[in-house]
Structure 1
């Protein structure tokens, strides 16, 4: 275990999980770091859309503070940045590129960029498009780039100039997401914020199935779905669910559907937070397929890949005994490799590596003639 460290994270949001997957990721990872003895401060830009939907309650393991602007960040937290052993700046932070520049001028410890949106970053930077939260040159100015995606994404980040790129995929806190005694309300459910590039899969693999199996019960939970969607009568709509309600939602389904954003599917090796959450709850997961899925769950044993409504309908006829077995295997896999504790240990190793390189650089400078 890495000795006690002062860690400062500047991220999109930890206070509100509304419309983003960052908050649950940070809560899981940073909560584990705090439990392992590290002092963790999370700094969040105070914006109205998250302020109106804050669902972080009575959680004191990580200190959370807010700033109004880049200037306010400097006024309030310059000393915290200077004193930190590790500073991590996340993707999609408002004015993130400017924040990274400011942190680099003021940080004395290890500086990392945590890319929770690796597919978006790669597509923009490789096409020389504007990316307000990070510039291409900044990938080589931080000590380490942490990537939500594994596989070829790491080589591509290195090709863009990153000194070191390591996978730090999402994880789950098994104390929050776990099996609960919940009556079965739905045959199939889906939890996810509306996304235009994902909606065709929602239509094909859930709404289309609901229209064919009119005696079944289905559910879609998540915010921002447009009013123009034609919801079948046997599909329940649930608006935003806070993380503490996820377990009850997953456990109230016979099967749960996992759908992946288009850019994550194309890149591959990019599991979503919801995938690990559902598995930790012991849910039997039907998922779209993508390269690298087998690195996280064994197809047809721990997870059920689907590309068509016919696939889903076939899975819905699986016996409850087999369904429970599949869900338990998925839960076992998560508990063995994908908890927040596992990710915290991985992060500690990456920090130790960067600190060792810092110490080596200082030693070389001290030994070199003037």
Structure 2
């Protein structure tokens, strides 16, 4: 953490915290209920942060008013899907920077001392851990922390499990059930006699739970993120699967070999802006390549690797099918089969999205990979 400074009858300071990688504000002014949206928006665009000391609900209204002003500059469709995607991502980063200039102050007990403020202590403690003094955060981020706590409490229903999975803050939630259904329906290798399976990049642990429910003897789930590992352990316990699912990390592959190795890497080969982006962006396709290059040496005879991957990157022009197949072949693997499914998420129906046609055509596949046997 770094430190921000401001004057409020006297010089004051607080630690700065940003999960989304927002830069440290260099200039901070105090704002309250008298602050007009036009002024707040201008100051934020100029790089000045506003530390809110008024009514919490008024702060939310101000943030919405600022967001409407940012939205007026949203890009439309460009010449190619790849350029449209890049422009949209650049705009989202700009929007996050502007809205991230409206700050609130959390005390050492994770509380928020503002009129009509909700009790955020549990949500903040779960997301950020212990404080050793006051901490300044963007209001937009705090609202995300509050929302994540609600998701964690109520859970996400997963039809393939007929049960709830509870995502933690910063862990990708399994709201897109189609990829989970593929893992639930694909024929298990070795005639169904799968003694050990690896789930690489487990996240909430949803795919590990599906494999365990399908009768796999032992599922070893890995993740680079400590938050994800804690989340997967929590869900395994909630589902009564702690005797079957073991969570480890941060290495991608655990020790030993498996009859089945499942990997659902981030689908977009781009640089994540922060740790919160790791569920979507795979810098340089590194996780995908690591899964493929390590698979042959980790499979038991007759075993399979299941690559669960959307073709959205291909449709955006960020990766080609030829590049994917070349990576498979270079790893000494072959495609034994493939199952496809279409997306069912809400963005498919959003005709105002400049990338609507690309998202509507998206296909998610489960690629069944086996080791190429040397010729006699």
TM normalised by structure 1 equals: 0.32
Greater share of helix: 1
The structure showing larger relative contact order (alpha-carbon pairs under 8 Å, at least 6 residues apart) is: 1
Greater Cα radius of gyration, structure 1 or 2: 2
Which structure has more strand as a fraction of its residues?
A: 2
TM-score (norm 2): 0.31
